[in-house]
Chain A
Amino acid sequence: MQSLVIRIVAMWLVVVAVSSIANAQSPQVDYSRDITPILSQHCYACHGPDEKARQANLRLDDLTNVIQPHASKSLIRPGAPEGSHLWQRLIAEPEQRMPPAEHGARLTKQQLTTIHDWISQGAEVSTHWAFRAPRRPPLPEVKNKKWAKNEIDLFILHKLQSVRLHPSEQAFATTLLRRLALDTTGLPPTLEEQSKFHQEERSWKAWVDYFLDQPAFGEHQANDWLDAARYADTTGHAADKPRPMWLFRDWVINAINDNMPYDQFTIEQLAGDMLDEPTVSQLIATGFHRNSMQALGNNPRKEEFRVKGIIDRLETTGKVWLGLTVGCAECHDHKYDPLTQKEYYQLYAIFNNVPHLGERFDVHGPRIQVLPPATQQRIDKLRTQVASLESKLKTPAANVTAQQAIKDLQHWLSDPARLTALQKPAFQLAELTLDGSKAYLVPKQQTPNLTGSLSIGMWIKTTQTEVDLVSKYDWKSQRRSYVFGIGGQSDPGSKPGTLYAWLSENQHPFRGPIIYGSTAVNDGKWHHIALRFEAGKSIQLYVDGKLDSAAEMTGEMISSIAHSPLPLAIGGGFDNADQPNKFFLDGQIKDLRLFDRPLNGIQLGAITRQQANELHQAIEQSEFTREVAEYYQQLQESIPDELTKQITSLRTEISRLEKQTLEAQVMAELPTPRETYIHIRGDFENPGPAVEPGIPAVIASTENHQPTRLTFARSLFDKENALVARVAVNRIWQHYFGRGIVATVDDFGLQGEYPSHPGLLDWLAVEFRESGWNVKHIHRLILQSAVYQQASTKNRAAETPDPENRWLSYAPRIRMNAEQIRDLAVFASGKMNQELGGPSVFPEQPEGTGQYRDETAGQWVNSPEPDQYRRSLYTYWQRMSPYPLFILLDAPSRERCTTQRLKTNTPLQALALMNDPHLHRFTEDIARRLSAYSDEPVEQVLLAFQLILSRSPDRQELKRFEAYLATSHPDRLFQFVQILLNLDEALTRE
């Protein structure tokens, strides 16, 4: 009894305390802003969206059944906190109190007040702000309109005025220029830009446009996107093998520089492969989701890592486009956000159809072979040259007189060797007799590299039904190139005793033409046989100079033949071996010729003694018969003239270049989708019910019956999509202010932070959408605003009301990111290599770093000198042993998606920035640049300040550093440059 009294009194005291606070202030409570964060953090775990974890069949994420104005035992009675059961439980005695002690801390007094106020004010409920499509809000009314430069400022000013703060003055011109240059291009302004800026030749607006148009803009902005895309040059996990991805990196840079609209930018990356007839560039864009890590090597459970890849893709998609932590629903319904486990796996199903190939150290998804843009340009140029040369080619024998032809023929026929010499075969062999026990092996240095058009001709004498005559082909060991012989190794479809040839474009699997002849050639008599392959066009067989028109061709035509590592065997073939071991010739070969161009039987020497005699006679009698003319023409065709030689050499160059393809990792869809199951407790080996592909309701409200990656990507840009535009503009805002309007840039859900300027966020989001997703437009708006151009001197007045500067009464000072800090030194050296794109480079790093990488993955070999001066963004990104300077300066390893880098301030950073030998290279360059500029310390100080700090020194600074440099110490300039490069001011964008 006594305890009950105490309880009631205690309860009453709490209520009184809380009510008195409430009555004193009673600000308008907003459900979405103020109440859901409390409920989601403290209550949803047991009374939230997760059905399985739900207690007492009560859910507080959906209050429709909970708020009842009149019911006496209603959980929430609008206007009557004391009559609300929910309130009573919050302030009850410990054993009755919610949340229960074992589930975490009780609500704070402030939180209780908020809930009390909310119920008192009528317990109005609204959908979470971020799940409502943004509408353009009216522009706020403000007093000091003069300060505002555009709409952004009205929102900022409105908030500042409501907390009785004033914006700061505009920053100094020097600060502004450096800020603008560093924020857009990542680099400080050049000396020329500094001088022009101070002469006020251009308006601020023109300067903004100028910097947005610099190619360096795309490079610097790409950096943020590459963090989010977890772009790296290696596969990650223990093996961490190289995996070429830089084509994707360059795609991002170019897309940003071209100001590709954000919807297109998104759709091409998420589903470029599913567009109608995708371009190579659109395929490369899909590399976005091929950046996921891939385990390679001994016994990784392949399916496990395939599944991890998809989970990574969902997590990344969620963070980058939706600002949602979708990963929470992998194992159970989301505890905070309206995303069920089933919906998660429906989304999973959309991403579950990417082929997953290879084994052990070669597990991979789809790849294509792509020519790097520079190579493609060179090829196009060569092709134009070839075309122009070909137009000059005369038709053979057109202008040759009979006398001249007969003279040539006499000359050639008098010595067959001479003819062969003129024809220049790729390989020839006069005579070979074999007994069926071995083959002739062509020495390596004589082996021709035949990967385009090809002809083989020879005289043979044999009775075998099955023999390989010329072979560089072994299907069993998956080393295919070309083979020509009799009988076709008893393959189904082959014919004993007749000719056959197989040519493959790949070593494995087979892709190319298969041809089987119709005439037997194994009657023990001499026959001339020939194979003629014109790359990309035709394949033919000849027997005794005549085309075998009844030969059967199957398979597909190809334009190149694979290069196999096997030796070239004559009179024998391969059967799962490195040396010829089967299909040996028992018989004779004469006058074998291999050519790298298409030639027919006659051209390959199919002329019998009798025919030769007849021709001789005809020629001696100067009879230019039709037969002689034909023969002449064919021979002449087989002998290249100067023009043809030129064309051939250009063609060779083209085919050499065409082989310099790079592998690009792309997305593709399986013809038959994989079945998707819910993974019980996130365990893929524990499949639950099957699910169909679907888009979670929180992402898109539109009905979409057969969603695919493509329709999913498109649905992100529905007018009613609440998240995509907000999340995107928020990230751009973060880029310029160091913090988003929503500070949790990848979490707009119920646990995310409420926007500092909700109206501004929505205004920008709608503006973005209505501008046609024009990214540079948003950059421009921010850069032209007054809030961006404020001084970064701390606003003393803000210390108490706004210690974190959320209301932006002054500009933030932001420490530059790792790449920018290195780039500053490279740039100031005057030797920056401004080449855009290309393979990643290897700046120096101390010996012994990266020593624990798997040796099979390769070694870090420093790039040659010019590449030491590339921008940091091109540094080879080795996930398991990232570049040490960058990691110390808070760059992520890029194992997973990162949308926000932390900015720490540590002694190890100080050590690296003072002592990394790689930075000393640039320090020395700058010192040399200073001494080359002038012998006068004053001049040197002036220049150094401009190069590194983009400003002039004041009088005191000048005096002090002049004195510092007034010494004959040989290393003093170096030491001076180190000082400037390490100043807080140098490392900070003010």
Chain B
Amino acid sequence: MTSVDQLTRRTMLTKSGGLLSLAAINHLGACQGNQVSLDQHFPATAKHVIYLFMSGGPSHVDTFDPKPELTRRNGQPIPESYIKDVHFAMIPSSTKQPNLQASPFKFSQHGESGIAVSELFPQVASMADHLAVIRSAHSSVFNHDPAVNLLNTGDSRVGRPTMGSWVSYGLGNMTEEMPAYVVMTSGVKRQPLLTSYWSSGFLPTEHQGVELRNTGSPILFLDNPPRVTRAERRQQLNLMRWMNDRRFTATADPEIQTRIKQYELAFQMQMEAPRLMNLAHETATTLEQYGVQDGKPSFARNCLLARRMVESGVRYIQLYDMGWDSHDSLEKQHARQCRAVDQPIAALLSDLDQRGLLAETLVIWGGEFGRTPVIQGGGGNWGRDHHPHGFTMWMAGGGVRGGTVFGATDEFGFHASEDKVDVHDIHATALHTLGLDHERLVYRHQGRDFRLTDVSGNVIRDILK
């Protein structure tokens, strides 16, 4: 098979969207020596992922995990049994038994399913019947950076590929005019967002997340220099192609054909990316629905862009919203954060739904951990510390059974206690909706087959249709 054939095959594979990417096939073929299956591991219920990452750690007991007992025992020291072997990130160890802190926000039940959501998320609450709320997520990593790594790569250390890269590697893309894995950011900066959060780790860099920028051109180096018009670029590419073809004739190196192809793709991306980012053709109603204001960078704009990415065939879209790390002034800060994301998230879900895209798009919401049910600081500026021992995430769309609550934390919302969900379970479940078996999506590195879920991970079947 010549390289040109290979390329056509690749195009076919990626266009069809339902097959393993050529990269993965080649890899599996080369390393396992087994016959390669061109099918996904099983039928997919989702083709895209939108991961809404609340960076800094949203408080579960103030949003999706109501705790009447916490309210009842507000101000009392937490019983010692709960905090045996628990390290707090910021609450000093001299505070032997920090006090329980009730949520100041009211919870009420929503939708036919009657899922309890606090008043911080009135609009997301109206979509309750689409949500599968996981109240028993847990980990042991209580610092931001390692915890974000864990949520993204399944390991708190740097160096592993992020979930978006695994998905790009496993499934390829459905468009050639945009990257398979894009990242957008918004919010109030507290912790830095590091490029390692969308790194491809040991997977080839083509699977790395591409950050869409809030200022300047949306993709780094997308714009021609001022001295080259689009027509002139076309002319340049034609000459390059002529030269490269001659080289190919001389050397027969298929890599040259690939390069020609990549330059053509880049040329198309220069058209497609700005078109996608341009909201001029969205109706005023849509803009209003999301709460987008004159194209200003915001979480709302990113949500609308995420829908447009899904429409254009982008595989994995991750939105980071910063500013959730409320060590102090939690009431004020969480109210501000939720105000900025509540309406856009609800708009995204209902917009996707109306366009028939929610059925094929898995939406994930969560932070790198929750926040302590015990108080940090005091007075009017009280806050909550990092809390990995039990927190809430939710999923919607893409084969997820809406109106579900899965798992539970203890009476105070401290430890995950029922149907505990490990971070690897989240990953296994997400891959499952995409038709990928987390135990079979492997990449050989340093003499062993690596997985996103390493040696663990169980699909949470109860939240799937």
Contact = CB atoms under 8 A, between A and B. Distances in A.
17 contacts: A298-B90, A335-B448, A336-B447, A747-B446, A794-B253, A796-B252, A813-B251, A848-B213, A852-B192, A896-B158, A904-B205, A908-B266, A911-B222, A914-B233, A914-B236, A920-B227, A983-B247
Contact of A238 (B191, B228, B448): B191
Which of B157, B179, B247, B447 has the most chain A CB within a 10 Å cutoff?
B447
Interface string B207-224: 000100111100111111
Contacts of B222: 911, 915
Interface stretch (B68-76, B255-263, B311-319, B418-426): B255-263
A938 B229 CA distance: 25
Contact of B143 (A300, A327, A982, A985): A300
A65 interface: no
Given A911-B222, A914-B266, A957 B243 contact: yes
Interface stretch (B8-16, B193-201, B328-336, B351-359): B193-201
Given A105-B34, A909-B262, A911-B266, A299 B145 contact: no
Interface string B246-283: 01001111011011101101100110000000000000
Interface string B302-331: 000000000000000000000000000000
Contacts of B236: 914, 975, 978-979
A335 B33 CA distance: 20
Interface in B423-457: 446-448
Contacts of A752: 447
Contacts of B193: 852
Contact of A974 (B157, B227, B252): B227
Nearest to A750: B447
Contacts of A236: 158
A473 B243 CA distance: 73
B195 A880 contact: yes
B195 A882 contact: yes
A979 B195 contact: no
Contacts of A880: 192, 194-196
Interface residues of B, number: 67
Contacts of A964: 239
Given A813-B253, A888-B205, A978-B236, 11 more contacts: A299-B90, A325-B448, A846-B216, A852-B189, A908-B221, A910-B266, A915-B225, A960-B239, A974-B227, A975-B227, A983-B247
B4 interface: no
B38 interface: no
B240 interface: yes
Q: Which 10 A-B pairs have the closest CB atoms?
A: A751-B447, A910-B266, A794-B252, A907-B265, A238-B145, A971-B227, A907-B266, A915-B221, A852-B193, A911-B221
B255 A915 contact: no
Contacts of B263: 907, 910, 914, 982
A127 B258 CA distance: 43
Contacts of A917: 225
B188 interface: no
A107 to B, nearest CB: 10
B247 to A, nearest CB: 5
A553 interface: no
Interface of A: 105, 108, 110-111, 236-238, 240, 293, 295, 298-301, 308, 325, 327-328, 335-336, 744, 746-747, 749-752, 792-794, 796, 813, 815, 846-849, 852-854, 880-882, 884, 887-888, 890, 893, 895-896, 902, 904-912, 914-917, 920, 957, 960-961, 964, 971, 974-975, 978-979, 982-985, 987-988, 990
Contact of A846 (B195, B220, B233, B255): B220
Contacts of A902: 204-205
A595 to B, nearest CB: 50
Contacts of B269: 907, 911
A975 B228 contact: yes
Contacts of B247: 983-985
Contacts of B219: 908, 911
B35 to A, nearest CB: 8
A957 B240 CA distance: 11
A951 to B, nearest CB: 12
B447 A299 contact: no
B255 A904 contact: no
B410 interface: no
A308 B192 CA distance: 22
Contacts of A293: 158
Nearest to B239: A979
